[in-house]
A and B are shown apart, each in its own frame.
Chain A
Amino acid sequence: MSSKNNLLVNLENAGVYKSPKWLIRGVSLEVRRGQIVTLIGPNGSGKTTTAKMVLSILEPDEGSMKRYTDKIAYVPQKINIDWTMPLRVVDFMRLTNNLNDNEVSESLNQTGVEKLFNEQIHGLSGGEFQRVLLARAIAKKPELLVLDEPVQGVDFNGEIDLYNIIKNISANLNCGILLVSHDLHFVMSATDHVVCLNGHICCSGKPSTVIKDKAYIELFGEHRSKTLTYYQHDHDHTHNSDGSVSS
């Protein structure tokens, strides 16, 4: 396959205006198959807005968005499900997808929450819900996966778990991933392309280039931007999702 065919989505100089200001302007980026592209930046810098343009939830008011796939899965930043709606995890897994029980279990298994199959969505903790959201997205076997802060509310070890899963998805499904994240460890160590936003693109490129960029250092502070790069560590044991130590 030529590299042109691997292109999944292409934003060109795109911007969204919401009276009285531009939420984001001048964003150009590409996501290709097998690639993880991350959006970083402070609160209100337009990360979610950019993700929503890629998903065509928002139309760009200037510039353009072109997408070359319809197999899309989305993990939104926030979902509120009212108590009025009785919803089990399995119902939620089938929301936009026709899956049999085995397929549902298998996907839940991948994010370590297969025992929540019949639980009510309202009873889940924040971290459990994030895992279910990710499992639902994986089950869709997407070509393009958009993750908006997928590890929020997940405990420390869970975070590492989920990031590993995300890395595996991109390899196993050969899909493109657009990731919004605050976790600079992961962004800098595991992703292919970083886009640093603050109402516009401050800088972008390979992680190794971005961490040396003046705009990046200015945005995240010299200390943080230096100390948090290429973070690696080893465990002498691993934990199951419920916290017990596995041998």
Chain B
Amino acid sequence: MFDDFFTRALVTGIGIAIITGPLGCLVIWRRLSYFGDTLAHSALLGVTLAYAFSLNIAFSVFIISAVIALLLLNLQKRTRLAGDSLLGLLAHSTLAIGLVLMGFLSSIRFDIMGLLFGDILSVTVEDIALVWIGGSVILGILYFIWKSLFSATVNFDLASAEGMQPNIYNMIFTLLLAGVIALSIKMIGTLLITGLLIIPAAASRNITNNPKQMVFVAILIGILSVTIGLFTSLELNTSSGPSIIVIALILFIISLIPLELRGKLQK
């Protein structure tokens, strides 16, 4: 059943959308969009290292993202520069290091467009397994730590005072984020992963009124974006990542309509 490359891409994409739904909500609640972007930029370095040492790409990207997250925490203790400056520093320097290293590895042919924007043709049966197994692990952990993580998201001091140990769970959350980026890199590409995290969650916020609802609707919008996006990509012969994100954007615009209507009714 997974013989067809398109079916493989679809199954993988839906798996990714199910994980990016809840994590995307947490990313926008915690105002971490730029952090996701930084991890995604550093993913290119992970891919390069994977080729250089013939490692599994997802594994290598995960390790690099985790290192970047720890580096960020460390830098925050050493300097008083604002968070966004540090993120910019990490994002662009890791991207640059990745590109420089790529130059050294001239014997290997890189598909840069594929890395940046995703390539559905490259999705293998192993990728399906990786996304669904890895995704289940991520969702399982998320389910288990949800209460602590959520309370830390609403208010760090409150969670800390009432014994929810927010520091530990914030760290785990960062690792989960690194994990989801590692899993989705082939499909969406490093430049656009943050889009799949943020846009469905943002669209979902417009039409929901409680946290659980927002998570479920974000998953649905993610699945819709991936499905319609991949069909569009097939029909119009466009890159898979951008097609998915454009559909997500269209769904976001549609999600604004109920808000507008409600606004009109109240006037």
Q: Which residue of A lies closest to B159 (CB)?
A: A96
Chain A: residues with Cβ within 8 Å of the partner, total of 24
- CB of A96 within 8 A of CB of B210, answer no
- Listed A/B pairs (29) with beta-carbon separation below 8 Å: A52-B157, A57-B157, A73-B162, A74-B157, A74-B158, A76-B158, A76-B161, A79-B154, A79-B155, A82-B31, A84-B28, A84-B29, A85-B29, A86-B205, A86-B208, A86-B211, A86-B213, A87-B154, A91-B210, A92-B154, A95-B150, A95-B151, A95-B154, A95-B159, A96-B151, A96-B158, A96-B159, A96-B164, A146-B161
The answer, yes or no, to whether A140 is at the interface (CB within 8 Å) is yes
Answer whether A85 and B153 are a contact pair too, CB < 8 Å, given A55-B161, A72-B161, A96-B159. yes
Q: Which of A54-86 contact B (CB under 8 A)?
A: 55-57, 70, 72-74, 76, 79, 81-82, 84-86
B interface, by DSSP: helix, strand, loop or mixed?
A: helix
Binding site for B on A (CB under 8 A): 52, 55-57, 70, 72-74, 76, 79, 81-82, 84-88, 91-92, 95-96, 120, 140, 146
CA distance A93 to B242 in the complex (A): 41
Q: Which residue of A lies closest to B80 (CB)?
A: A19
Q: Which residue of A lies closest to B166 (CB)?
A: A57
Neighbouring B residues of A84 by C-beta, 8 Å: 28-29, 31, 205
Q: Which residue of B lies closest to A73 (CB)?
A: B162
Binding site for A on B (CB under 8 A): 28-29, 31, 147, 150-151, 153-155, 157-164, 205, 208-211, 213-214
Min Cβ gap A17→B in Å is 16
CA distance A79 to B147 in the complex (A): 18
Q: Which residue of B lies closest to A142 (CB)?
A: B162
CA distance A85 to B211 in the complex (A): 7
Min Cβ gap B108→A in Å is 42
Neighbouring B residues of A74 by C-beta, 8 Å: 157-158, 161-162
Contact of A86 (CB < 8 Å), options: B153, B157, B162, B209: B209
CA distance A70 to B209 in the complex (A): 32
Neighbouring B residues of A96 by C-beta, 8 Å: 147, 151, 158-159, 162-164
Neighbouring B residues of A82 by C-beta, 8 Å: 29, 31
CA distance A27 to B215 in the complex (A): 45
Q: Which residue of A lies closest to B206 (CB)?
A: A86
- CB of A85 within 8 A of CB of B154, answer yes
